[in-house]
Structure 1
Amino acid sequence: LRRALRPLEELRDVVRVVDPLRPGQRVRLEGPASEVIELAEAFNDMLGRLEDERRESARQALEAQEAERLRVAQELHDEIGQSLTAVLLQLGRVERSGSPAAAEGLAEARETARSSLEDVRRIARRLRPETLDDLGLGPALADFCDRLAQQSDLRIERSLAMELPPLKQEEELVVYRVAQEALTNVVRHADTDRAELRLEVKPDRLRLVVQDWGRGLDGQPRGGGVQGMRERALLVGGQISVTEPPGGGVRVTLDIPLDEAGLWYR
């Protein structure tokens, strides 16, 4: 009797721990055919359908989010950016033809406009990284690290694989956004001036690692950030792990299986 009821116990255990952001959990099917086995099979099928539906919903939501980011970035660049550029040109003409008494105020106004223009460009780059579209994943990650280091006190050691397998646009975007989120969390919450970013090609997977030597998980906010990274990872069959390494700090690891992501490496 106990052997016959084992699938039911497995079903109970899986129901208790099932997590939509950690797909692949299934009831093990053992023993002869029975109503209990059929129930477990139906539950496994239901989990598979739910995972597929969640993945598709997340894909559509994130595609819409990226499309909106692109639209806003283009508007910032094309409209606000051009307007500020025109203001700079006008201020320059007035400054050259105006009185010496007004020169100082005009110079300050021009500097404010120049700073605002740079802010607009920075926000537009963050919304939609041009280097990712133009140069690819490696240069885009390097560019983001350089800009983040300039804007903060963080020193980012990076090791980027020289040769990457051909990547789809959504795969590059997932890796970039996870790195962006993880490094931004380091600046905001880790209380450290040192971080590391690695992009590695393993025999069966593409791996991104972001590590810091800060306060550890106790200093990190829980919820939205990690959940967002996990949802992005699921879109390409990947997984996120967030751990505290022996040396302290936090390590975020993104693994994208090459076979599941449709990648190949020659």
Structure 2
Amino acid sequence: MVVKTREKDLDYILDEMVDVVENSKDEIFNISEEARSEHEQLLRELEYTKAKVLQYIEDGDKLEHNVRYSRRRLSEVSKYFDRYTEDEIREVYESTHELQTKLAVLRQEERILRTKRDELERRLQNLEHTIRRAENLANKIAVILTYLTDDFRQVNEMIEEAKEKQEFGLKIIEAQEEERKRISREIHDGPAQMLANILLRSELVDRTFREGSPEDALEEIKNVRKMVRGSLYEVRRIIYDLRPMALDDLGLIPTIKKYISTTAEYNNVKIDFKSIGEVKRLNQKYEIAFFRLAQEAIQNAIKHAEATLISVKIEICTRNLNLIIQDNGKGFDPTIKRDKSFGLMGMRERVEMFDGVMEIDSAIGKGTKIIIQVPHKRALV
């Protein structure tokens, strides 16, 4: 009875903590969204203000040129006072005074706009800092929330010692959060961006229909339909990337063939595939690893290298499993360290997990060749 009571108390405490954390997460999300909305509004206002500042500068320069000319005219009139009539003298004086007044007003308004521009830039920097802090805090809370719900209870059942529970649970959470972060980044960079573009294009369709011709509106509708089709493909691709079912049912070679066929057709790229050796089922973790490696290399060749021809070859040899991917893209210099080259970094880490090696042969303008070799003995069932 005492043990059950303690378990109930622990569950109650966990539930209360989960509620508090979830509420905090929602509040942080709302703060982040409000900051983003304000950031977008200020960004538009800043662009408008910058444009006005440039216009004021241009107008001020022209007016200043006119003032200099008027001053020279005034100096001439003052020097040869007796040559001009009273009306001409008055006109020159009044014209010069009016131009100087306009220039002073214009420069004052320009200073006000410059001050406003600087203030907007400071506010934008503060908002960006707030958004980054909110995102970091939300990520930390997501880890805590996951730990308090699913993983904490599962680890609590599997491991007896408290220290082992904590370490094992955190490793699970870190892996899950990294995968969620990757999926979130793909959705943000893919379907989310496409949907935002579709929304903008739909507004353009409405404006074109009202202000332009029906033919122009129809053309815009066709463009929107094309973007929707692309967005649907991205969603399906992300779902497929999570776990292609054919990998479990058919194995590595048929799954890669199907993936290559679909990718080549959608991207209008020629992809040659060749398998050497006996086509047999491999240990599941090796099938998953080689599929992901081929997938990442093909996507890199299409998206970054802008290749039009890609060659994929898998060799099931006596002692090794080999994967060779070659493209005719724009290539790069492997000796230069590139920021955010997460694709190649992830491929290399995945290969090293199986005690394999990965070599990259590339040069700018000469395409890229990736050779992956993994020991054979632990790979086959």
Match of 1:203 in 2: 318
- For residue 252 of structure 1, the aligned residue among 353, 370, 373 is 370
Deviation at 1:66, TM superposition (A): 9.6
Asked if residue 243 in structure 1 is aligned to residue 361 in structure 2, the reply is: yes
Instruction: Give percent identity, aligned residues only.
Output: 30
Specify the structure having the higher radius of gyration (Cα).
Answer: 2
Is 1:165–1:263's contact at 8 Å kept on the other side of the alignment? no
Encode CA deviations 1:25-57: one digit per residue, 9 max, x unaligned: xxxxxxxxxxxxxxxxxxxxxxxxxxxxxxxxx
- For residue 352 of structure 2, the aligned residue among 234, 242, 259 is 234
The CA distance in 2 between the partners of 1:168 and 1:186, in whole Å, is 27
- What amino acid is aligned across from residue 237 of structure 1 in structure 2? D
Distance 1:118 1:217, change over 3 A: closer
Match of 1:39 in 2: none
- What amino acid is aligned across from residue 328 of structure 2 in structure 1? W
Match of 1:154 in 2: 269
- Gap regions ≥5 residues in structure 1: 1-58, 73-107
Asked if residue 182 in structure 1 is aligned to residue 297 in structure 2, the reply is: yes
Q: TM-score, normalised by structure 2?
A: 0.38
Deviation at 1:177, TM superposition (A): 0.7
- For residue 212 of structure 1, the aligned residue among 327, 333, 351 is 327
Asked if residue 125 in structure 1 is aligned to residue 235 in structure 2, the reply is: no
Structure 2 matches for 1:13-162, cutoff 5 A?
64=176, 115=229, 119-161=234-276
- What amino acid is aligned across from residue 297 of structure 2 in structure 1? A
Encode CA deviations 1:171-195: one digit per residue, 9 max, x unaligned: 1111011111111011012232101
- What amino acid is aligned across from residue 158 of structure 1 in structure 2? F
Deviation at 1:158, TM superposition (A): 0.7
- For residue 225 of structure 1, the aligned residue among 339, 343, 348 is 343
- What amino acid is aligned across from residue 352 of structure 2 in structure 1? L
The CA distance in 2 between the partners of 1:204 and 1:146, in whole Å, is 29
Higher helix fraction: Structure 1 or Structure 2?
2
Give the 3-state SS of the residue equivalent to 2:236 in structure 1.
helix
The CA distance in 2 between the partners of 1:154 and 1:218, in whole Å, is 23
Provide the aligned C-alpha RMSD in A.
3.8
Deviation at 1:249, TM superposition (A): 1.1
Is 2:332–2:362's contact at 8 Å kept on the other side of the alignment? yes
Q: TM-score, normalised by structure 1?
A: 0.53
Distance 1:195 1:207, change over 3 A: same
